Structure 1
């Protein structure tokens, strides 16, 4: 019987898109960039949005991996978003993904 795990791994990570030292090349970098952009969603500095928890103003979006991981103290963080909770006045930094329950209330031009 054929090992499907290896076949699935090859389908997800074709050998022609990874170098011999296991550093991603441009196709994988671009794919990850697109995933992160979808997870951040429309959140840009100045955007006001709400969800089931509160209403927030985006203060900053950190896309630098090292800085996001340092700020969040999470080794796997791909981005960080600094927020101001408009109900409590508290600031926080999160790495939550944009979901269908999030709604933009005030947009800003990019």
Structure 2
């Protein structure tokens, strides 16, 4: 009688097609460009505006565990900490919305820190 063993068995290092690596949960290298597109030009020091307000980027969090905790979403891969500059009492908060055509850059991010005086 022939064996009923499966004809194809996935190797332990193969993944299930999701955009992450199976052992680390970090984005696959091919996805890094997607993440950069999602973040857009939002780097520390940048100011951008959309229908929700005008925001100064205070920090960019690219560690998935930290981003997931900040946004309270297990699927988060990054987060941007911003402050609404149109509100005098604007407090920093985290956002995970992707950069879209309704967002526009007012001031680009700092490229380097100025030396201390």
The reply to whether TM is greater than 0.5 is yes
**Structure 1 residues 85 and 19: alpha-carbon distance in aligned structure 2, compared to 1, 3 A threshold:** same
Question: Structure 2 length as normaliser, TM-score?
Answer: 0.70
Return structure 1 stretches of 4+ with deviation > 6 angstroms.
none
- Asked if 1:95 corresponds to 2:96, the answer is yes
Residue 39 of structure 1 corresponds to: 38
Question: Structure 1 length as normaliser, TM-score?
Answer: 0.74
Gap runs ≥5 in structure 1: 1-14
In the TM superposition, what whole-angstrom CA distance separates every residue of 1:27-77 from its partner, at most 9, and x where no partner exists? x71121111110000000000000011000000010000110111110000
**What is the aligned length?**
92
Q: Of the two, which has the highest radius of gyration?
A: 2
Q: Give the CA RMSD over aligned residues.
A: 2.3
Residue 66 of structure 2 corresponds to: 67
Gap runs ≥5 in structure 2: 1-9, 112-117
